[in-house]
Structure 1
Amino acid sequence: MTSHPTAFAPRTPVEPGPALDMSGPREHARAVVLLLPGGRATSVAPARRGLAHLRMVPFARAISWSTRGHEVAVWTLRYRVRGWNGDAQDPVRDARWALEEARRSHPGAPVVLVGHSMGGRVALRLAGEPGVVGVCALAPWIEAGEPAPRPGATIVIAHGDADRVTDPRSSAAYAARIGASFVPVPGETHTLLRRPVFWTRLVTAFVTTALQPAAHAR
């Protein structure tokens, strides 16, 4: 995602709160997977179930299937607004709220974050949060000077080399700087639609590995 001038429209007096689409146990799950959709650099328009949200649906279904029988809660976050919005970092605030909800509903459960584009940036920002054991960032939006997360979580960054929305070179350099794994995806664009089976397998394999033994304990 390329940078845009930081200009903000007035916010509405009462903004809707963030929301979660949930599958799996509602209480006392052994693990939680939180999916973080993309968005825009600047927008205070309410976030709805648009294309960015729908892009996460196949991943949510595949993760639910691959962890069936292991009491894993799979959540997709719906942000309050569509944009990152400069220093406001609106989606980071919303994702922190979701992590608090995970700790409240599923005390002690490890959390894996899976984010696309802006959601990938959010996931990387929260990699050092308590309880987060893994981050899978897909075509993330990486800016110059992006802070390195606190150590602890396993991190993989995957990026298509034909992406013209976010920069795969920035992802590769950031992964090298923080010691994360980087997976180049030949021929793939920002939409992740040219190699959907590859992406699904990458995400489900990462999630199940990051959650062992929690997701597979009997």
Structure 2
Amino acid sequence: MVLLLPDGEPHSHRRPSALTHARLLPLARALTHAARSDGLAAHVVRYRCRGWNEDDAHPVADAEWAVDEAVRRYGDVPLCLAGHGMGARAALRAGGHPSVTAVLALAPWLPADPSAAPEPVKHLVGRPVLLAHGTNDTRCDPASSLRLAERAKKANRDTCRFEVHSDGHGLRQHRSEVTALAADFVRGALFGHAYARPLTDALAAPPPLGLRMPLAVGFGESLGVGAP
């Protein structure tokens, strides 16, 4: 099971945008296609409102509810939380849920101020964690995800981070490679398949190498995995 958490806004109590939900549907379809022989199911979570809203952190509560609901419907199955932007931050925050097996964070929205209270990371111990961030992201500072990855790696050795050179927040320029990386991670983390060599190397490499791993152009072509 993969639960995908959409992007959102820092402050808003308005109804969630249908567009942000729809943007994750191609990734959900690609993941289920890549792991069709494993019986993977993927669902995009619908938030109650579109904002993070400071200490309320509404998407985190929604993600935890979605995990509980998935367990109720499907039983105790391996489960990955995968998010983009604000949803990536929610996935990292909710990743300590006892039913979460792995966490995938794409272009995570994190506090850009280094003096802000750091995001928690110790709850991620025992779970593979993959972050991927475009180097030209002007909405969510890539340096913030690097700082979080550095802290997470100290607590959890199964943490890695890929840099998508020249790509922006939407990770559209190299969508095929990002999709292939996500599929490879999910199949390995949930079903025990061998990771592709770049992902294996990133998880094994000490900082900063394994946290600034470049996502190669054409990644996934030899695996038969990519964006639909």
| TM-score class, shorter | 0.7 to 0.9
The 2-side partners of 1:146 and 1:186 are apart by 25
Structure with more contact order per residue of length (Cα contacts < 8 Å, sep ≥ 6): 1
TM-score between the two structures when normalised by the length of structure 1: 0.80
Q: Greater helix percent: which structure?
A: 2
- Show the counterpart of 2:164: 185
2:148 to 154, 174, 199: 174
The 1-side partners of 2:67 and 2:23 are apart by 21
Offset at 1:86? Answer: 1.0
Q: Greater strand percent: which structure?
A: 1
* 1:79 is the counterpart of 2:62: no
- Show the counterpart of 1:11: none
- Show the counterpart of 1:146: 119
- Show the counterpart of 1:38: 7
Amino acid at match of 2:174: R
The 1-side partners of 2:74 and 2:40 are apart by 10
Amino acid at match of 2:137: D
The 2-side partners of 1:35 and 1:156 are apart by 14
TM-score between the two structures when normalised by the length of structure 2: 0.77
8 Å CA contact 1:134, 1:154 repeated in 2: yes
Q: Which string of whole-angstrom CA distances, capped at 9 and with x for unpartnered residues, describes residues 137-182 of structure 1?
A: 0000122411114112110111011000001011111101111201
- Show the counterpart of 2:76: 108
The 1-side partners of 2:93 and 2:146 are apart by 16
SS of the residue 1:183 aligns to: strand
- Show the counterpart of 1:10: none
The 2-side partners of 1:187 and 1:48 are apart by 27
- Does the C-alpha gap of structure 1 residues 213 and 183 become closer, same or farther in structure 2, counting only changes over 3 Å? closer
8 Å CA contact 1:124, 1:149 repeated in 2: no
The 2-side partners of 1:184 and 1:193 are apart by 14
SS of the residue 2:45 aligns to: strand
The percentage of aligned residue pairs carrying the same residue is: 41
The 1-side partners of 2:183 and 2:122 are apart by 23
Q: Which string of whole-angstrom CA distances, capped at 9 and with x for unpartnered residues, describes residues 96-123 of structure 1?
A: 1100101111221011011000000000
Offset at 1:191? Answer: 1.2
The 2-side partners of 1:79 and 1:149 are apart by 25
- Show the counterpart of 1:97: 65
Q: Which string of whole-angstrom CA distances, capped at 9 and with x for unpartnered residues, describes residues 158-217 of structure 1?
A: 101100000101111110111120111100100111111111111111111111249xxx
Amino acid at match of 1:58: P
Q: What is the root-mean-square deviation in Å for CA atoms of aligned residues? A: 1.3
8 Å CA contact 2:8, 2:50 repeated in 1: yes
- Long gaps (5+) in structure 2: 154-158, 194-228
SS of the residue 2:18 aligns to: coil
The 2-side partners of 1:148 and 1:58 are apart by 29
Offset at 1:54? Answer: 2.0
- Show the counterpart of 2:134: 160
The 2-side partners of 1:112 and 1:68 are apart by 16
- Long gaps (5+) in structure 1: 1-31
8 Å CA contact 1:46, 1:81 repeated in 2: yes
8 Å CA contact 1:126, 1:149 repeated in 2: no
